[in-house]
A and B are shown apart, each in its own frame.
Chain A
Amino acid sequence: MSGYTIIDNRKIEPHITFFRVNPTDIKLTLKEVFVSLSDLCWISSFDKDYHQNAFQVRAEATINYIADNIIKDNADSVTSSSGEYVVSEIARKTIIQEMSYLDIPLAELFKIKDVGNHGFDFYSINGSKIILFGEAKYVAGQNAYGRALKQIVKFENEKQDHSDIADIDLFCCDVSKTNFSNNKKGFVAAFSSKIITTDMLVENIKKNKDFQALKKFEEIICVAVNL
């Protein structure tokens, strides 16, 4: 059970891929994230008894509640934070599954203590050993590609990718790091999308100025998640 189906997969340009994904079970994805986040939280080791027993039952109720809010487009901060995790995780899994790229867990879920300053939400490495930096945006009831692309451009300008490299060093082979130091890198824009045809969505993305700016990089992947 993956909790989503890929309903569209097309090339915008040879080095630019577009996916459209339909979540079939938001709760499943959310639960995976929620459980992983909880595992990392100090409470889980502080009160093992709670974590092993009471947590599961309570988590079900919590996740159901949040997932319902995402479905209903309730735009509060918890919903939007959760929606972003769902978008990140589905996008991350999509490129691993469809493109067989490297599986690196969500940045938030790295089990390494010192990781904390990361800017991007997730990462992967493609077959040509190019590191991809992923950014996810969720906006209740809206297409959020504009925000995702804008954030990527901003981070790239601020050299956030350079500082993030230290965080994911463990996952990167020497070739990928050399590529990165030669400015060979790629980006993944993951975003929530709403009632609009894929053709129209792709057309709109193509017109986006941030998208234009990013085209120069080795690889760009756009993942639209229907939320």
Chain B
Amino acid sequence: MNDLIKDIIAGENIEVIFKTVLNDLYRIGPTSTTDMEILSYLFLYHPVEFEKYKTAILNYMAVFYKNIDRDSLKDVIFGQYRKYIRDTYNKEYTPIQASVIKGIDANKCFSFSAPTSTGKSYVFMNKIQECQNDVVVVVPSRALINEYYLKLCDLIQDKAVNILTFIDKINTKKSKRNIFIVTPERCRELFKQKDLFNVELFLFDEAQLSNEDSKRGLYFDSIVRRCLKAYPDATYVFAHPFVKNPESQIEKNHFNSETSFAIRYTQKNVGQMFLCRDNNWKFYHFGIDTSIMGRKKRACNFDPIEKTILNNGSVLFYISKSKIYNKEFLKQFDRYISLCTEIEDPRINDYIEKIKLYTGSDTAINKNHYSQMTALLKRGIVIHHGSLPLQTRIIIEQFTKEGFCRICFATSTLEQGINMPFDVVYLDRLEASKPLSVKNLIGRAGRSTLDNKFDFGYVIINSLNNRTKFREVMTNEEELDNVSILEKEDQQDDDYTEFKEAILNGTLSDEFNLTENELAKLSTDDIETIAKNILDSLFIKENFISLDEIRNDEYCRLSLYSHFKSLYEGYLGRSLNDGESNVLNTAIKIIIWRVYGKTFKNMCWYRYSHASKSHERDAREKSGKGTDDLMAHFFTGYNDIPNKNLNVFSLFPMGTKAKDVDYDIIMYDTYDYIDKLIGFKLSDVFYATFFKYFEKTNDTRALKLAKYIKYGTDEERYIWMLRYGLSFEDIEVLDKHIDRINSEGILFKKSINDITEEQKVAIIRYL
């Protein structure tokens, strides 16, 4: 048995192969990639024989969520264990799921790693539901916050349980306990109010974040330690994907080893087979363990992608962001895109309408605001990446989970553990430098179903030459550091070092998310003068200057821009170059639009109108003139700042026609500004500046601006609504139906009963 792919395809020694793999499965469980590979080949090429062994295979895999029969005494052994789990936990858990529950219940700190699709989230949900006191779930991204949020809201109907994506004490009259789902950054709010909460369980999901050699990694570890200090009696759970040493969390954060336990699960619920393709889109099987599966690639006589799409399966293409932005993917994968014709289903239209409403996009080609991303949904084609506005991402993830997605073109953001399995995962690029991410992505291949069948997926790489590299990624084990970066002597830039020292010395301000040093820089006389200048230029008496004035100032010549620039330069301690200045000006403009209550859609429209010269085009069209020779406006796209080497650049290259300005790009870019630059960097700096200024001078304009920067409003009523989880879009609809709102709860007017169920979603838990 050293050339199994060939043997299985040729139908040689099939019974022996079945018996061998069954024996392995029985004795070591579904832990070997190769065994699962072999089963996938047997299932594909010998379905009739597979049927004979199916019951044994599913029993030995212990996929107890399926309705499996028992045919033999050996099957009975698994049946008996299944019954034991059911009797003990009252759920159809797999052995791994039961073990996770046991690990959590029996230890103060439980750390584990498990392959994708082991169903850990189902266990977590149940565990969170069972808790009697507060629970804090810490995840690395807002996308994951939303995933947890939606699942928990579905699962926990009891309105006495607050499910919140920020740490806050609200709804106190009705609520008995809280479930907080937060990023490490948002988790800091806990410590200011620690006596208000009785946290029973901390759940750190995707805890490999702690290994990130960055501020976030530092911050993650610091949050873990602060949680432990504030709540020494709580239970701590760390979950990771494929890492080899989950015990590292226990060691690096100094948990008591006697009450801690770590385990690495390697059992899989689905099989996978691996293919590569040549330049003519011919596919070839290859194995991971060449000594068993064979050294040579073996021709696959069908196109697995085409077959999957035609069988109503789903395919994930992992591609670069640039291919999405420059639309190259449309050409490269046209053979598959063309298989997806429009789907007639009113639910799809509902999803599209939701996206259109939020993003202001249109699906009619050749019209302003045409979004190909939105239009493709009609054909079951999804585009997913980190610059997709969060609201849109949530909608398309629901779209995918509802089974409408046939093809998903995604960049690495899917890696962050969003639970979206596919029948095929195609890797258009293989980033061997990020093995954990690639493994996570590969883990998305193969959907585990409740059907009484063996589930498997295809993983396809884009070239015949990448097989060795791919095998290395699959076989190399990922190890986390056993020493926290908080305790390591490493040389990084000053910014990082200052941040690290602040964490170690406890001088990182929870209120402002800035170091003592940074806060000191924002409280100097010079900065205060600049702050006053900003306020004077932005306010006429107590009111903001008119929106028209901002809108008519296309080139950011108003003095407020130069003042903000001075402020940021003061914070950085150096001058900004022209490229950085352009980016900052655009960010300031977006902040100001938010101050004026402009929604995401409005901002995209403004920016699109500017870039595509829509007014000029309209005027030309009305007068019967062509617009072909009209070029797009210079348009500063998002770029991370500070960056000394950033040149002045336009998002749309020279020669782009005004009418060809892509609305999707405008959407992604606007979201990048809001999310990555304003959300992660600028708002902390500006909020602290104006809040500190208010404290010193009692200038209420400064407090007003600080609140606008932090919340997007200075109205207490709206701030309460935001604290209850409503978005500005929700507030637009719900404000008039709310009588009173405060920390105790929301008192609704009777008219709340007149709105649609869809409109009630944001407040349903408080009704």
By a CB distance below 8 angstroms, the chain B residues around A175 are: none
Pick from B20, B28, B60: contact of A117, CB below 8 A. B20
Q: Smallest distance from the beta carbon of B636 to chain A beta carbons, Å?
A: 57
Asked if A66 contacts B29 (CB within 8 A), the reply is: no
By a CB distance below 8 angstroms, the chain A residues around B74 are: 37, 41, 81, 108
Q: Which one of B80-88, B444-452, B672-680 is at the interface?
A: B80-88
List A residues 55-101 near B (Cβ within 8 Å). Answer: 55, 58-59, 62, 66, 77-78, 81-82, 85
Tell me if A47 is interfacial: C-beta within 8 Å of chain B. Answer: yes
Pick from A66, A116, A118: contact of B76, CB below 8 A. A66
List B residues 8-24 near A (Cβ within 8 Å). Answer: 16, 19-20, 22-24
Tell me if B261 is interfacial: C-beta within 8 Å of chain A. Answer: no
With A42-B26, A42-B27, A117-B16 already in contact, the answer to whether A78 and B77 are too (CB < 8 A) is no
Q: Smallest distance from the beta carbon of A48 to chain B beta carbons, Å?
A: 11
Tell me if B198 is interfacial: C-beta within 8 Å of chain A. Answer: no
By a CB distance below 8 angstroms, the chain A residues around B282 are: none
By a CB distance below 8 angstroms, the chain B residues around A42 are: 26-29, 31, 60
Whole-angstrom CA separation of A62 from B75 in the bound complex: 12
With A115-B23, A116-B22 already in contact, the answer to whether A81 and B72 are too (CB < 8 A) is yes
Whole-angstrom CA separation of A116 from B38 in the bound complex: 15
Tell me if B78 is interfacial: C-beta within 8 Å of chain A. Answer: yes
Whole-angstrom CA separation of A41 from B30 in the bound complex: 12
With A40-B26, A117-B19 already in contact, the answer to whether A47 and B99 are too (CB < 8 A) is yes
Tell me if B428 is interfacial: C-beta within 8 Å of chain A. Answer: no
Asked if B95 contacts A46 (CB within 8 A), the reply is: yes
Given contacts A113-B28, A116-B19, 7 further A-B contacts (CB under 8 A): A46-B99, A47-B81, A50-B81, A55-B80, A62-B80, A81-B71, A116-B20
Tell me if A54 is interfacial: C-beta within 8 Å of chain B. Answer: yes
Tell me if A17 is interfacial: C-beta within 8 Å of chain B. Answer: no
Tell me if B73 is interfacial: C-beta within 8 Å of chain A. Answer: yes
Whole-angstrom CA separation of A117 from B15 in the bound complex: 9
Q: Smallest distance from the beta carbon of B25 to chain A beta carbons, Å?
A: 8
Asked if B78 contacts A43 (CB within 8 A), the reply is: yes
By a CB distance below 8 angstroms, the chain A residues around B145 are: none
Q: Smallest distance from the beta carbon of B205 to chain A beta carbons, Å?
A: 23
By a CB distance below 8 angstroms, the chain A residues around B99 are: 46-47
Tell me if A151 is interfacial: C-beta within 8 Å of chain B. Answer: no
Q: Mark each residue of chain A from 116 to 154: 1 if its CB lies under 8 Å from any CB of chain B, else 0.
A: 111000000000000000000000000000000000000
Pick from A33, A115, A117, A118: contact of B73, CB below 8 A. A33
Q: Which residue on A lies nearest to B17, using beta carbons?
A: A117
Q: Mark each residue of chain B from 72 to 116: 1 if its CB lies under 8 Å from any CB of chain A, else 0.
A: 111111101101100010000001001100100000000000000
By a CB distance below 8 angstroms, the chain A residues around B60 are: 42
> Which 10 interchain pairs have the tightest Cβ spacing?
A116-B23, A42-B29, A81-B72, A77-B71, A82-B73, A116-B20, A117-B19, A81-B73, A117-B16, A43-B81
Chain B residues with a Cβ under 8 A of chain A: 16, 19-20, 22-24, 26-29, 31, 60, 62, 70-78, 80-81, 83-84, 88, 95, 98-99, 102
Whole-angstrom CA separation of A77 from B72 in the bound complex: 6
Q: Smallest distance from the beta carbon of B323 to chain A beta carbons, Å?
A: 43
Pick from B77, B81, B88: contact of A34, CB below 8 A. B77
Whole-angstrom CA separation of A141 from B31 in the bound complex: 40
Whole-angstrom CA separation of A42 from B74 in the bound complex: 12
Whole-angstrom CA separation of A42 from B29 in the bound complex: 6
Asked if B77 contacts A38 (CB within 8 A), the reply is: yes
Whole-angstrom CA separation of A55 from B79 in the bound complex: 12
Count A-B contacts at CB 8 Å: 81
By a CB distance below 8 angstroms, the chain B residues around A34 are: 73, 76-77
With A116-B20, A117-B19 already in contact, the answer to whether A85 and B73 are too (CB < 8 A) is yes
With A43-B62, A116-B23, A117-B19 already in contact, the answer to whether A37 and B83 are too (CB < 8 A) is no
By a CB distance below 8 angstroms, the chain B residues around A163 are: 16
Q: Which residue on B lies nearest to A108, using beta carbons?
A: B74
Asked if B28 contacts A62 (CB within 8 A), the reply is: no
Whole-angstrom CA separation of A225 from B24 in the bound complex: 31
Whole-angstrom CA separation of A34 from B77 in the bound complex: 8
Q: Smallest distance from the beta carbon of B563 to chain A beta carbons, Å?
A: 65
Q: Which residue on B lies nearest to A84, using beta carbons?
A: B73
Asked if A78 contacts B75 (CB within 8 A), the reply is: yes
By a CB distance below 8 angstroms, the chain B residues around A77 are: 70-72
By a CB distance below 8 angstroms, the chain A residues around B16 are: 117, 163
By a CB distance below 8 angstroms, the chain B residues around A115 are: 23
Q: Which residue on A lies nearest to B31, using beta carbons?
A: A42
Q: Which residue on B lies nearest to A115, using beta carbons?
A: B23
Q: Smallest distance from the beta carbon of A152 to chain B beta carbons, Å?
A: 17
Instruction: Show 16 A/B contacts (Cβ-Cβ < 8 Å), sorted by A.
Output: A33-B73, A37-B74, A38-B77, A40-B27, A42-B29, A46-B29, A46-B95, A50-B81, A54-B84, A58-B84, A66-B73, A81-B71, A82-B73, A116-B20, A116-B22, A116-B24
Pick from B22, B72, B84: contact of A50, CB below 8 A. B84
Pick from A43, A78, A118: contact of B70, CB below 8 A. A78
Asked if A78 contacts B19 (CB within 8 A), the reply is: no
With A50-B81, A78-B72 already in contact, the answer to whether A41 and B95 are too (CB < 8 A) is no
Q: Smallest distance from the beta carbon of A107 to chain B beta carbons, Å?
A: 10
